[in-house]
Structure 1
Amino acid sequence: MNSLKKGLSLGVLGVTIFALTLPMTRLAVGTPDAPLMSGMFIAFGRAVVAGVLSGLLLWWGKAPLPPRDTWGPLVLVALGVVFGFPLFTSIAMRHVEAVHASVMVGVLPLATAVVGAFLNRQRPSTAFWVCALAGTALVVAFAILRSGHNDLSLQMADVLLLLAMACAAVGYGHGGRLSQRMRAEYVICWALVIALPINLPLAVWQFPEHNLPASAWAAFAYVSVFSMWLGFFAWYKGLALGGTVRVSQVQLLQPFLGMLFAVPILGERLDAVTVGFGVAVIATVFIGRRMPVQTVVKGAPA
């Protein structure tokens, strides 16, 4: 199996794990009428659990300290996928259904490709950028349509989800690049360990004060161990082997997988409008990933 095929296979595995994140987060936070865990506890708490596991793995594997020039990118990984994405999505998911949020995730593959192209000195074609803008426009149009407002405004939850996608793209892009120099699992582990001194007191501060159903704790366990930790092992290794711009496009599966998981887990329903927008967004991603990407040679004219 060549590097690209192996990278794509690992990417699909990572995306499948990530596709359960929004339904599980919704299961843990509850709804406005029946709130469970706070979004802040889930965001900080899941990072603490994964951070402790990361510290144990780094100790067991006698992992060397990352080179000095990787600490800056590791901080950006932490800001993107340890702080930003979990916090924004966890707060948003109490106010939107997982099926709705899954459509918003559709813009993530192109966002990740844009970050990857910038970091790896690649120049996507004009057609690629057209697809990226079209996909973003579709996601925003869907959010406005579902907002229930007549003034073309977005719900705050949708704004938070879009911010989460931007954070994830930054974290994925830098993490994929670091995985070309470090073991893929160590990238997310070091990012989590770096963030642990901040996340631990915040998680303790937000710890639930009332009894919660076992389903909420099971969902929290999933996003802590799988979404925040193991999924990145496969994802970053896939990005490193196959290239961020190309492998990131397997995320086109994530919206549909997220919708499908939300039905049995949460009892949500799919309607024609949601599926239609999801198909349209993924179509722009599919077309975009087939557009040429040129590597910029250092010293060549822009």
Structure 2
Amino acid sequence: MERTSNLQHSPLQTSASGWINGLIGVVIFSGSLPATRVAVLEFDPVFLTVARATIAALLALGLLWLFKEKRPARHQLMSLTIVALGVVIGFPLLTALALQYVTSAHSIVFVGLLPLATAAFGVLRGGERPRAAFWIFSVLGSLLVVGYALSQGLTASPQGDILMLLAILACGLGYAEGATLSRTLGGWQVICWALVLSLPVVAALTWLRMPSSLSGISTPAWFSLGYVSLFSMLIGFVFWYRGLAQGGIAAVGQLQLLQPFFGLTLAATLLHEQVSAGMLGVTVAVILCVAGAKKFAK
């Protein structure tokens, strides 16, 4: 696997490649919340979080050994810790807890806030400076998402909505930090080292939180655990961090506005959850903000 920092392409080619890699990552991530929703019906949320991280970390360890990757420098360990806390532990655990209170279709709408969070942390941690118009489109997309959530009545499940908001903040920080680090460490190397760094903790917790019996777990639940472990926790990040590093954190991060559309489609087709006209309308409106944000991202 080639490191992001070693790419020798023109800026235009690199930007286009970044958007392609980012889109692949978003498509993969779109199945995360529906799969988590299925899994959390039969698995304890904490066990699900640490089990998926343990499986992905063991695979990551194998990849690093296979390609004989050098260990990260000491000054990179803090950034890797932030990535681990944000996307290996924080986002999976908080969303798993939230999905005990809300449907995956409802939680997916909150993903519309992720581009704004990622862009904000990109400014703080990545040194990016998008133009003023970028923030207008990004904030508009986020307001549409929040407005929809308010219209549905947050009092119906305040726990679920608060947990989802915290999950978005954790994920945005992890995305921005990982993208910044991938410029020097490499896209797939970042997520692999973050997973390996967390392995001792998540492996121990997996053992401690292991259910007394796994005989009653259904095939869909096992399949969902496999998906969030292999695709959501590892493969998706290989494309996503590479895309963010190539095309810019704020710019490519706006592709996450497409994630609700893909996620709602999966929720409706696979889980047979109701997708209202209002939910679809918000999703379409948010998607339209991508073009405007992309134009003024740099």
Q: In structure 2, how many angstroms separate the alpha carbons of the residues matched to 1:291 and 1:184?
A: 25
Report which stretch shifted further, 15-24 or 122-131.
Answer: 122-131
Q: 121, 131, 144: which is aligned to 1:125?
A: 131
Q: In structure 2, how many angstroms separate the alpha carbons of the residues matched to 1:121 and 1:177?
A: 9
Q: In structure 1, how many angstroms separate the alpha carbons of the residues matched to 2:236 and 2:129?
A: 28
Q: How does 1:231-246 map to 2 (within 5 A)?
A: 231-246=236-251
- Tell me whether 1:61 sits opposite 2:89 in the alignment: no
Considering fraction of residues, name the structure with more helix. Answer: 2
- Tell me whether 1:203 sits opposite 2:206 in the alignment: yes
Corresponding residue number in structure 2 for 1:33: none
What per-residue deviation string (whole Å, max 9, x for no partner) do you get for residues 141-173 of structure 1?
Answer: 322322364xxx861111111111111111111
Report which stretch shifted further, 117-126 or 221-230.
Answer: 117-126
Corresponding residue number in structure 2 for 1:10: 21
- Tell me whether 1:158 sits opposite 2:167 in the alignment: no
Q: In structure 1, how many angstroms separate the alpha carbons of the residues matched to 2:151 and 2:47?
A: 30
Q: In structure 2, how many angstroms separate the alpha carbons of the residues matched to 1:198 and 1:3?
A: 37
What per-residue deviation string (whole Å, max 9, x for no partner) do you get for residues 186-238 of structure 1?
Answer: 10011011111111121222223342111101100100011001111111111
Per the alignment, in what secondary structure is the counterpart of residue 64 of structure 1? coil
CA contact (8 A) 1:252 1:285 kept: yes
Instruction: Give the Å deviation of 1:80.
Output: 0.6
Per the alignment, in what secondary structure is the counterpart of residue 129 of structure 2? strand
Between the two proteins, the alignment pairs up a number of residues equal to: 285
Task: Report the TM-score when normalising by structure 1.
Answer: 0.89
- Unpaired stretches in structure 1, ≥5 consecutive residues: 31-35, 294-302
Q: In structure 2, how many angstroms separate the alpha carbons of the residues matched to 1:154 and 1:142?
A: 14
Corresponding residue number in structure 2 for 1:213: 218
What per-residue deviation string (whole Å, max 9, x for no partner) do you get for residues 77-97 of structure 1?
Answer: 011101110000111112211
* C-alpha spacing 1:253/1:148, structure 2 compared with 1 (3 Å): closer
- Tell me whether 1:142 sits opposite 2:137 in the alignment: no
Per the alignment, in what secondary structure is the counterpart of residue 181 of structure 1? helix
- Unpaired stretches in structure 2, ≥5 consecutive residues: 1-11
Q: In structure 1, how many angstroms separate the alpha carbons of the residues matched to 2:132 and 2:24?
A: 30
CA contact (8 A) 1:10 1:237 kept: yes
Q: In structure 1, how many angstroms separate the alpha carbons of the residues matched to 2:154 and 2:173?
A: 31
Per the alignment, in what secondary structure is the counterpart of residue 180 of structure 1? helix
Instruction: Give the Å deviation of 1:292.
Output: 4.9
- Tell me whether 1:184 sits opposite 2:190 in the alignment: no
Per the alignment, in what secondary structure is the counterpart of residue 119 of structure 1? helix
Q: In structure 1, how many angstroms separate the alpha carbons of the residues matched to 2:122 and 2:179?
A: 8
Q: 107, 112, 117: which is aligned to 1:106?
A: 112
CA contact (8 A) 1:38 1:91 kept: no
CA contact (8 A) 2:57 2:199 kept: yes
Q: How does 1:274-289 map to 2 (within 5 A)?
A: 274-289=279-294
Q: In structure 1, how many angstroms separate the alpha carbons of the residues matched to 2:211 and 2:109?
A: 30
Instruction: Give the Å deviation of 1:44.
Output: 0.9
Per the alignment, in what secondary structure is the counterpart of residue 179 of structure 1? helix
- Tell me whether 1:173 sits opposite 2:179 in the alignment: no
Corresponding residue number in structure 1 for 2:5: none
* C-alpha spacing 1:216/1:292, structure 2 compared with 1 (3 Å): closer
Task: Report the TM-score when normalising by structure 2.
Answer: 0.90
* C-alpha spacing 1:111/1:285, structure 2 compared with 1 (3 Å): farther
Corresponding residue number in structure 2 for 1:255: 260
Q: In structure 2, how many angstroms separate the alpha carbons of the residues matched to 1:180 and 1:62?
A: 19
Q: In structure 2, how many angstroms separate the alpha carbons of the residues matched to 1:67 and 1:37?
A: 37
Question: Percent identity, aligned pairs only?
Answer: 40
